[in-house]
Every structure is written in C-alpha cells, then in structure tokens.
Amino acid sequence: MEEIGQTPIDAVTCHKCDITQPIHNFKVLESGEIKRTCKSCKSGHDKVIYKLRKENSYPTEDYSCPICKRGLEEIGKYGQPRLQTWVLDHCHDSDTFRGWVCGNCNTGLGGFQDKVDNVSRAYEYLIKHRMNNGL
C-alpha cells in the first residue's frame, strides 16, 4: 500500500478512464508520486501516438509552429531544445492528428485541456486586461 502524505492509498481513479483501480495498475515514481493515468490508458495512448507518427511526417527545417509562428531558430533562443522540438498534437477525443506544434504551445493546449471554452475565456481575460490597462 502506497501513501500520499498521511493517507494510505490502495486504489486510484484514472483521470482518463475514470475507473478506480488497484495501485499496481499505476506507475509509482521513486518519490512516491503516483501517475494518475492507469497503465492500460497509457499503453493505449502510446499506441495512438506511434500510429500517428508513422502516418504524419516530421516537419521540415523551415517549418514554424502554427500557433506561435516561431521557427526552429527562434525557439532555440529561449532555451528549448532543438532536438525533437516539434510535438505531435492530436485530438484526445477522436485520436486524430491535428498537427505539429512547439513544446510550449503543446503545454499550453494541455493546460487548457483542449477545451475551446477554456481557450476562449483565456482570450477574453487577456483582452479585458489589455483594455483596463490601455494597451
């Protein structure tokens, strides 16, 4: 039985499939942190990514991120590793390829949970700030 803080944990609910499962169905790091995606969902995700990588060629040297418009040279200025800079972006609902994006934009999409409503509210939030500050 694993422990988080003072609470013993013998089962975890996967944040992908929403099924509560025994702790041995999850990856537990040396630090004691429990990855919240079950091994079955992780395996399925890895298979989808592998398939999409085979079907969609990696971008050329002159490619730029469709979201931030930065190319390899500009991304390198900010300390982001140039090797494997482009991240395969896919729809988590349909498992379809959306495109190649930079790591920063991929993290942003993940932070918004790929939800258009979240992105829209973030946009409105930024616009409101600009307007309130005369920008």
What is the CATH number for 104?
A: 3.40.1800.10
Same domain, yes or no: 86 and 25: no
The rounded Cα 35 to chain-centroid distance in angstroms is 14
Same domain, yes or no: 111 and 64: yes
Is 49 inside a domain boundary? no
Same domain, yes or no: 112 and 74: yes
Give DSSP secondary structure letters for 57-77.
PPPPTT-B-TTT--BHHHHHH
Distance CA 133, CA 91 (A): 36
Same domain, yes or no: 78 and 130: yes
Same domain, yes or no: 10 and 60: no
Same domain, yes or no: 5 and 35: yes
Residue 80: the pLDDT is: 59
Structure tokens at 108: 């942003």
Is 19 inside a domain boundary? yes
Residue 52: the pLDDT is: 97
What's the half-sphere exposure (Cβ side, CA atoms, 13 Å) at 24? 1
Is residue 109 scored above 70 in pLDDT? yes
Our count of domains for the chain comes to 2
Residue 4: the pLDDT is: 52
Phi-psi region of 61 (alpha: psi -120 to 50; beta: other; left: phi over 0): alpha
Range of the domain at 110: 56-135
Same domain, yes or no: 114 and 77: yes
pLDDT in tens, 23-73: 999 999 999 899 999 999 999 999 999 999 999 999 998 999 999 999 988
Same domain, yes or no: 27 and 62: no
Distance CA 58, CA 14 (A): 31
CB neighbour list of residue 118: distance below 8 Å, 6 or more residues apart:
112
Using pLDDT thresholds of 50, 70 and 90, give the confidence band for residue 97: very high
Same domain, yes or no: 13 and 70: no
Residue 3: the pLDDT is: 47
Portion of the chain with pLDDT greater than 70, in percent: 89
Same domain, yes or no: 32 and 70: no
pTM across the whole model: 0.74
Structure tokens at 59: 């971008």
